Homo-oligomer: A and B are copies of this chain.
Amino acid sequence: MPLTPLPTLLVEPLVRQALIEDLGRAGDITTHAIAPLDCAAKTVMAARQEGVIAGLDLAAIAFRLMDPAVRFKPVLADGAHVAPGATVAIVEGPARGILSAERVSLNFVSRLSGIASATARLAAAVSHTKARIVCTRKTTPLMRSIEKYAVRAGGGANHRFGLDDAALIKDNHVAIAGGVAEAIRRVRAHVGHLVKIEVEVDTLDQLEEALGIGVDAVLLDNMSLDDLRRAVTMIGGRAISEASGRVTLEVAPLIAATGVDLISIGWLTHSAPILDVGLDYLA
């Protein structure tokens, strides 16, 4: 399954806004003072840590928007594993454009690569099982599309993208409805035929209730490994099973071994440290 780039129509506005945020009202006063208009530069975008690269299209857009004469030539593709020091892209052209767009392009690439790298580490830890690593809605505001893309770049899969593309019945919904079955019933009567329904269950009793009425997926929240195993047996393929709750790199393989289909981790998008990526000036 090759990685599909996000449409330019969706990501260009983000990059444009980020550049304008950085330029402020007067632009890059340091660079303007120092670099003559005709000063050229050749630079290398390089990883300073081991990880997985993501976000090169956004970097390309950043340099192009700052100055169409800057040439951004990716050496790797999003999703590629990099060793420390690996060249990611060559960036050549007017020094002013390169210097002024450098920070914004790196802010995108290092953040998305950080998410991709964290995802890849988790994915590797469970690769001997059928379990897949998925993200959540705990994303950075306004960055959901690109952060979910970074999860895919790291070999993970995406949970729903928002409140409207799938139904996820949480504990509070269950409380309001007065039970798991009634909650599922209400949602089923409400949503269109192309909307899947997932329900969060905290106990095996709730799981049984959910399976009784039928549901597309169950979120097994904060269950013990024993309960996860029992849950998988109870489900017996009748629903997709997703485990969640304080998943670490150490615990992930144990959870995966219980037979669940998915392990969801909010940490991927809300707390993954960046991958250190820099721009080295050759000339």
Contacts of A20 in B (CB 8 A): 9-10
Question: Is A23 a contact of B1 with CB atoms below 8 Å?
Answer: no
Question: Is B198 a contact of A33 with CB atoms below 8 Å?
Answer: no
Contacts of A25 in B (CB 8 A): 10, 21, 24, 144-145, 148, 161-162, 164-165
Question: Is A34 a contact of B281 with CB atoms below 8 Å?
Answer: no
Q: How many residues of A contact B (CB 8 A)?
A: 101
Q: Does A203 contact B (CB under 8 A)?
A: no
A222-276 contacts to B (CB < 8 Å) = 240, 242, 261-262, 267, 270-271, 273-274
Q: Does A121 contact B (CB under 8 A)?
A: no
A144-202 contacts to B (CB < 8 Å) = 144-145, 148, 157-173, 175-177, 183, 186-187, 189-196, 198
Q: Does A143 contact B (CB under 8 A)?
A: yes
Question: Is A10 a contact of B23 with CB atoms below 8 Å?
Answer: yes
Question: Is B186 a contact of A134 with CB atoms below 8 Å?
Answer: no
Question: Is B100 a contact of A1 with CB atoms below 8 Å?
Answer: no
Q: Does A81 contact B (CB under 8 A)?
A: no
Q: Say how far A16's CB is from chain B's closest CB, in angstroms.
A: 7
Contacts of A30 in B (CB 8 A): 163, 167-170, 173, 187
Contacts of A16 in B (CB 8 A): 9
Q: Does A209 contact B (CB under 8 A)?
A: no
Contacts of A191 in B (CB 8 A): 29, 33
Question: Is A190 a contact of B158 with CB atoms below 8 Å?
Answer: no
Contacts of A164 in B (CB 8 A): 23-29, 161, 165
Would A176 and B39 be within 8 Å (CB), given that A25-B144, A193-B157, A217-B194 are in contact? yes
Would A140 and B163 be within 8 Å (CB), given that A21-B25, A194-B216 are in contact? no
Q: Say how far A42's CB is from chain B's closest CB, in angstroms.
A: 12
The docked-state distance in angstroms from the alpha carbon of A10 to that of B145 is: 19
The docked-state distance in angstroms from the alpha carbon of A187 to that of B30 is: 6
Question: Is B190 a contact of A1 with CB atoms below 8 Å?
Answer: yes
The docked-state distance in angstroms from the alpha carbon of A172 to that of B97 is: 13
Q: Does A22 contact B (CB under 8 A)?
A: yes
- Identify the interface centre among A41, A192, A262: most chain B CB within 10 Å of its CB: A192
Q: Does A73 contact B (CB under 8 A)?
A: no
Question: Is A242 a contact of B193 with CB atoms below 8 Å?
Answer: yes
Contacts of A23 in B (CB 8 A): 7, 9-10, 162-164
**Using a CB–CB distance below 8 Å, which chain A residues touch chain B?**
1-2, 4, 6-7, 9-10, 14-37, 39, 41, 65-66, 95, 99-100, 103-104, 106-108, 110-111, 114, 134, 137-145, 148, 157-173, 175-177, 183, 186-187, 189-196, 198, 216-217, 240, 242, 261-262, 267, 270-271, 273-274, 281
